[in-house]
A = this chain, B = another copy of it.
Amino acid sequence: MPSEPSRTLETFPNPNPERDYEINISTPEFTCVCPMTGQPDFATITINYVPDQRCVELKSLKLYFWSYRNEGAFHEKVTNTILDDLVQAIAPRRATVSGDFNVRGGLHTVVTASYQKPA
C-alpha cells in the first residue's frame, strides 16, 4: 500500500446515513511553510463534520495533511482550503475546520471556518 503525500481525499459510504451524527478528527501533526519567510509553520488541525452519503477515509486524510508539508500557506487561506476540499470530497451535511497555529512573534492564532449544506 503506497504511502505518499496526496491532495486526494478517499471516501467510503456513510454506514448510518439515516441519522445525523458527528465525526471529530484532530491531529497535532500539521506543518506547512510560511509564504513570507519560507520557514516552517506548525498547527493542530481539527475537523468536525456530520456525514451525508460519504465519510472521509482516515489514512487518505493523513496523506492529505502530509501534502502541505512543503507548501506555502497562510493561516486563514489554508484553513478555508481544507474545509473546501472536505466539502468537495464528501458533501457533508455540515462541517467545521479549525487550525490552531503555534505562536509566532508572541501571537497565537486560531482560524475556524464552517460549512452548512444548503437546505
Contacts and interface: CB of A to CB of B under 8 A. Distances in A.
Interface of A: 3-4, 14-16, 19-29, 31, 37-40, 42, 51, 55, 58-59, 61-62, 66, 69, 74-77, 79-80, 102-115
A107 B40 CA distance: 13
B27 A106 contact: yes
Copy tally for this chain in the complex stands at 10
Contacts of A77: 15-16
B79 A21 contact: yes
Given A27-B106, A107-B25, A80 B16 contact: yes
A28 to B, nearest CB: 7
A80 B15 contact: yes
Contacts of A61: 107
